[in-house]
Amino acid sequence: MGIVTARRLSQGFFLLVFCWLCLVTTLGDGAFELRGWPVNWLLSLAPLTALATGLATGSLFAPLLWAVPVVIASLFLGRFFCGFACPLGTLNQLSGYLTRKTLGRAGRAEDNHPSPAQGLKYALLAFLLAAAVLGNVQTGLLDPLALLTRSASLAVLPLLDPRQGLGQAEARHYDGAWVVGLLLVAILALNALRPRFFCRYLCPLGAFFGLLTRFSPWRIGKADTGNCGTCRLCEEYCEGGCRPSGQLIVSECVLCLNCLDRCPTGRIGFAGRPSAAGEQPLPDFSRRGAVLVLASGTAGLLAAPLWSVGGVAGIGRNPGLIRPPGSLDEARFLARCIRCGQCMRVCPANVIQPAVTVAGAAGLWTPALDYRLGRAGCLPNCIACGQVCPTAAIRPLSIEEKRGLGDFAAAGPLRLGTAFVDRSRCLPWAMGRPCLVCQEVCPVSPKAITVREVFEPLRLPRLAVADSRGTVVTLAALPAVGRNLAAGDFFLRPAGLPQATPQRILGRAAAQLTLAAPLAEAAPGREVEIVVRLEQPHVDPAQCIGCGMCEHECPVSGLRAIRVTSENESRSGPGRMLAEAARQGGRSWRRKSFPA
C-alpha cells in the first residue's frame, strides 16, 4: 500500500468518526443515539482549544489532555494532523480536487505557488491567543474542529434528522443556522480558487501546527541539490503551497505526501534531515505582514478589556441572556466556551440556541436558551448539555444538584432566571379572557405561579330579570355576547353588589340561563350582570427556577405574556435579586429586593 493511499484511508477514517460522533450526539439509548459514545473525543484533540482555555483560565480541563499526544507527535512529524486526521481538511481537499480537476497542469502548479497571504493565519492566531490571555476565548469561531462540529450540528444534520429517521425524531430549528451553513459552504467553495484555501490562509490551528513544525526533525524535502527537471509534478499536486521543488516552506507542508508519491526521480523523501534545496521556517513576511501580526496580537489584547468596558457580563448584561443549566458565571463561561454546538444538538427540547445578538460580539454562537423557539422549556430531569460540553463551560451536573435534592437540598434547585408576567399582554390581566396555562404547566412543587381570583363584569348593558324559578333565570333580553357562557368561567350576580356570591352559568337557551345554584337576589325586575372569573397569575421569585415552561406554553404568540429573564440566576451574583447579604469578588453587596 502506498503512502498516499494510507493517508487517504486515515482521512476517511477520521471523517467517518467525526460524522458518527455528530450523529449520535442525540439524547437516548437507541442505535443512533448517545449511549455513552465519546462524542467529545475529536474536539479534545485540538491543541488550540487546550491552549486557549488554559491561557484564559489558568487551568486545563482533564479531557483536553488528549491534545498533548497530538502536540508531541507534531513536534516530531510536522503537520500530520492536517494531512491525516482533520475532517475539515479532508473536505477541503476533496472539494478542491472535484472543482479543479479540469484545470491544466500549468494552472494547478501556478495556484500552488507560495503566497505571502499564507501568513494571514498567523495574524489570526496571534489575535485569538492574545484575546485568550485576557479571558476572551474566540478560537472556536475558526478552529476547524469546532467550526465543522457547529456546522454539522446546527445546519447539516437538522436537514437530515426527520427525513432519514436518524438522530432527532423531530425537525430541529436553530436561530441563524443559515449563516452557519453558508459559512461552511463558502469555506468549501473557496477551494475552487486555491486548494485547501481555508487551511492555507485562515486556519489558526494550522498556524499553530506550523509553528510547531519548525522544531520537527522529520520532514518532506529533497535528498540532493541536483537539478530535478521541469516537470513540477510535486508543486502541481501540493496541497499546502510549500514549494517542495525549491526552498521548502516547512510550516506550510500539510503532509499530503503527494510530492513524494508523484516525483518520477525519487528525489523527494520524508527523512530526518533538512531539505537539500534549502528551507525557510515561515511564509515570506513583508514588513506589512509583520506589522499585521503585531497589530493582530495588540487587537487581541485590547478585545477583552474593551468588551468588559460595556459591562455585558455584569451590570450591563442583557436580561434576555439565559445560559444552560450548569453554566459558569459569564466571564468564566466565555473563557471556556468554544461554540462547538454540541449542547445545542443534544438538547431534547431544542431550547438551547446559538446566541446571535443577545450575548454581544464576544458571545457570538455561544449557547443561550430560547424558550419560544424550542419544543418546551428546560426539562427538569435533563442534564445532557453539561455531559457533552468538551471544556466544562457547562459543568456536568447530577439530577439531584439540578433539582436541589438529597445533599443539595439546602442549596435548593439551580435557577436559570425568573419569569415575569407582562400584564399588558396577559389574557386575564389585559384582555379579560380566562387563561391558566402558565400555572398549569409550572413543574415546580409547590407551584412558582399562583393565581388570584377576580370577577369582572362583561361589557354589556345591565340585564333585567323577567322570571326566576330555582336555578333557571329568564332575562328580559340578552344581547349577543360572543362567548360560550356555559364554558364554566361565567357567572351571574346581582348588579351593584360586587360582594354578593356569583353563581356559575351552566347553560343558556336564548335569554334563559341555567345556574349551578339559585340566585336569591334574582327576583323579577331586579338587575343582574354577567361576570367572568379571571385567575390572574403571580410569580413567586423564591420558587421560580426559570425553566421557561410557562413562556413556551403561553398562548399569546410572538412576544409572550410571561417571559423569563436572567434575574435571580444561580450562576451569577449580580443577577440575583432576593434580599439577602452576599459576597462577590471580595466585596460586599446586597441582592435587590423584589416586591410581592
Residue ranges making up the domain that contains 493: 452-535
* DSSP assignment letter at 501: P
Residue-level pLDDT at 163: 56
The pLDDT of residue 522: 84
**Side chain identity, residue 249:** I
pLDDT of residue 482: 85
Query: Is the model's pLDDT at 39 over the cut of 80?
Result: yes
Looking at residues 376-380, what average pLDDT do you find? 93
φ and ψ of 536, to 5 deg: -85, 125
pTM score, whole prediction: 0.87
Query: Lowest-confidence range among 101-115, 348-362, 463-477, 487-501?
Result: 101-115
Per-residue pLDDT reduced to its tens digit, 462-514: 899 999 989 999 999 888 888 899 989 999 999 988 888 999 999 999 899 99
**Is the residue at 416 inside a domain?**
no
Q: How far is CA 18 from CA 13, 40, 43, 149, 159, in A?
A: 9, 10, 9, 8, 17
pLDDT at 284: 62
Q: Which three cell numbers stand for residue 473?
A: 333565570
Answer whether residue 587 is part of any domain. no
Q: What is the mean pLDDT of the chain?
A: 87
- Is pLDDT of 585 > 80? no
Residue at 132 is within a domain: yes
Domain stops at, among 280, 299, 317: 280
Domain membership of residue 80 (yes or no) is yes
Which CATH number covers residue 474? 2.40.10
Say if 297 falls within a structural domain: no
Q: How confident is the model at residue 424 (pLDDT cuts 50, 70, 90)?
A: very high
**What's the pLDDT at 243?**
84
Q: What does the alpha-carbon distance between residue 336 and residue 334 come to, in Å, rounded to a whole number?
A: 5
E strands present in 440-565: 449-457, 463-469, 472-475, 490-494, 503-509, 512-515, 527-539, 562-565
In terms of average pLDDT, the best of 70-84, 208-222, 508-522 is 70-84
Across 478-487, 520-529, 536-545, which has the greatest mean pLDDT?
A: 536-545
Report the domain count for the chain: 2
- DSSP structure string for 298-353: HHHHHHHHHHHHTTTTTTT--TT--PPTTBPPHHHHHTT-----HHHHH-TT--EE
Predicted local confidence at residue 584, as pLDDT: 38
Residue recorded with cell 523527494 = 268
Q: Mean pLDDT throughout 366-389?
A: 93
Q: What is the rounded CA–CA span in Å between residue 154 and residue 328? A: 23
Choosing from 535, 551, 578, the residue where a domain stops is: 535
Q: What is the pLDDT of residue 317?
A: 76
Q: Which residues contact 375 (CB under 8 A, 6 or more apart)?
A: 170, 349, 350, 351, 552
Mean pLDDT on 115-128: 89
Q: Mean pLDDT highest for which of 446-450, 582-586, 589-593?
A: 446-450
Residue 167 inside a domain? The answer is: yes
- 391-407 tens-digit pLDDT: 999 999 999 999 999 99
pLDDT in tens, 449-465: 999 999 999 988 889 99
Between residues 171 and 71, the one the model is more confident about: 71
Q: Is the pLDDT of residue 595 over 60?
A: no
* Domain final residue pick, 535, 567, 587: 535
pLDDT score at 396: 94
Question: Is residue 412 situated within a structural domain?
Answer: no
Asked whether residue 490 is assigned to any structural domain, the reply reads yes
Map grid coordinates 434580599 to a residue.
579
Residue 437 has pLDDT above 80, yes or no: yes
- State residue 588's pLDDT score: 36
Return the pLDDT at 106.
77
| Weakest-pLDDT range from 133-137, 298-302, 348-352 | 298-302
Q: How confident is the model at residue 250 (pLDDT cuts 50, 70, 90)?
A: confident
